[in-house]
């Protein structure tokens, strides 16, 4: 039903009318796993199926928590409610264009500036006091333990080749996060698709971040699983500048760090190595350690 616009249309219209947006133009975005609609030029409506009500609650809570506290704009929550059992969030539209759409046109120096802005923005988010978010599920230590136990089977269901499956247990044993570490607010899906860019007299600047639906509180390194794969995409120059702006010391940006990021990618809620191999293809790598250096290249 999530893909059936005709079935969803009456509900979308009813929500729009509920919030005084009856005569606005409705346009569904063509990306994302959930139905998301532009309601006119200033509002966005995100629908959640009933069984994903917890994700709606997390996104609404986190959006309200970060509002006005980050270097990047985030959507403001206009309403968080439900219609016929379907939770929804009505939020403000962010100005600008998605980074994924502007990336091919960016010069090297422009990408450098965006990398620095991204690192500084993530550092600001990770520095927030998360005391008000401690009840957000999943709880980090329990989540990571379960993800480690299911890592091989989850990748097997994705169609990952046996040669990679056999390496996962020993790789995680060597590199995965340990319980009891410092925890911060994580977006968890920092991607070119979720970052906004605006153009001004000084050129393009990173201006917005959205899609906090899978946010959680956990190990800071977990954030860089998606940053390496879905923003840098193997670009060592971009990733290194992001990490330095975030606060990593030069001496700490090394092959071991790449392996730690790789471990978090294996433990990620939506981990899908076959898809990652399509997005950033192999260049002769045969071990997960080598693959980590390819995907989180820092040299």
The string of pLDDT tens digits covering residues 198-227 is: 999 989 999 999 999 999 999 999 999 999
Instruction: Domain 97-295: give its CATH code.
Output: 3.90.1200.10
Nearest CA-CA partner of 131 in 4, 217, 240 = 217
What architecture is the 5-92 domain classified under in CATH?
2-Layer Sandwich (3.30)
Measured CA to CA, the distance from residue 40 to residue 48 in angstroms comes to 20
Share of the chain above pLDDT 70, in %: 100
Task: Give 254's strand partners.
Answer: none
Measured CA to CA, the distance from residue 233 to residue 240 in angstroms comes to 12
CA 49 to chain centre: 20
Residue 299 has pLDDT above 80, yes or no: no
Average pLDDT, the chain: 95
Could you read off the pLDDT of 110-135 as tens digits, one per residue?
999 999 999 999 999 999 999 999 89
Parts of the chain belonging to CATH 3.90.1200.10: 97-295
| pLDDT number for residue 49 | 96
Measured CA to CA, the distance from residue 111 to residue 128 in angstroms comes to 26
Could you read off the pLDDT of 62-105 as tens digits, one per residue?
999 999 999 999 999 999 999 999 999 999 999 999 999 999 99
Could you read off the pLDDT of 229-243 as tens digits, one per residue?
999 999 999 999 999
For 9, other C-beta atoms within 10 Å of its C-beta total 13
Place of tokens 């989540």: 143
Residue 261 has pLDDT above 80, yes or no: yes
| pLDDT number for residue 150 | 98
Q: What is the pTM of this model?
A: 0.95
Residue 236 vs residues 173, 239, 259, 263, 295: alpha-carbon distances, Å? 26, 5, 15, 18, 9
Region 260-279 average pLDDT? 96
Residue 10 has pLDDT above 80, yes or no: yes
Q: What is the DSSP string of 86-155?
A: EEEEEEEPPPSEEHHHHGGG--HHHHHHHHHHHHHHHHHHHTS--GGGTTPSSPHHHHHHHHHHHHHHHH
Parts of the chain belonging to CATH 3.30.200.20: 5-92
Task: Give 88's strand partners.
Answer: 47, 81
Task: Give 118's strand partners.
Answer: none
């Amino acid at each position: 039903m999530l893909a059936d616009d005709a079935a969803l249309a009456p509900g979308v219209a009813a929500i729009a009318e509920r919030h005084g947006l009856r005569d606005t133009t409705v346009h569904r975005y063509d990306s994302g796993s959930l139905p998301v609609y532009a309601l006119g030029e200033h509002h966005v409506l995100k629908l959640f199926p009933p069984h994903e009500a917890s994700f709606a609650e997390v996104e609404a809570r986190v959006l309200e928590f970060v509002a006005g506290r980050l270097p990047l704009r985030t959507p403001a929550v206009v309403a968080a409610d439900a219609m016929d059992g379907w939770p929804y969030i009505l939020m403000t539209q962010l100005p600008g264009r998605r980074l994924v759409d502007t990336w091919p046109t960016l010069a090297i120096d422009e990408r450098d500036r965006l990398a620095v802005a991204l690192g500084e923005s993530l550092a600001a988010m990770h520095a927030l006091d998360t005391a008000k978010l401690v009840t957000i599920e999943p709880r980090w230590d329990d989540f990571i333990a379960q993800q480690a136990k299911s890592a091989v089977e989850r990748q097997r269901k994705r169609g990952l080749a046996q040669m990679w499956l056999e390496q996962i247990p020993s790789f995680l044993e060597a590199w995965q996060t340990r319980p009891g570490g410092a925890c911060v607010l994580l977006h968890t899906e920092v991607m070119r698709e979720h970052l906004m860019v605006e153009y001004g007299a000084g050129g393009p600047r990173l201006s917005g971040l959205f899609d906090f639906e899978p946010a959680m509180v956990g190990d800071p390194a977990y954030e860089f699983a998606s940053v390496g794969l879905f923003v840098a995409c193997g670009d060592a120059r971009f990733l290194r500048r992001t990490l330095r702006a975030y606060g990593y010391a030069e001496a700490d940006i090394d092959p071991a760090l790449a392996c730690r990021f790789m471990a978090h990618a294996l433990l990620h809620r939506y981990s899908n190595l076959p898809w990652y191999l399509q997005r950033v293809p192999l260049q002769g790598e045969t071990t997960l350690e080598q693959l980590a250096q390819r995907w989180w290249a820092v040299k």
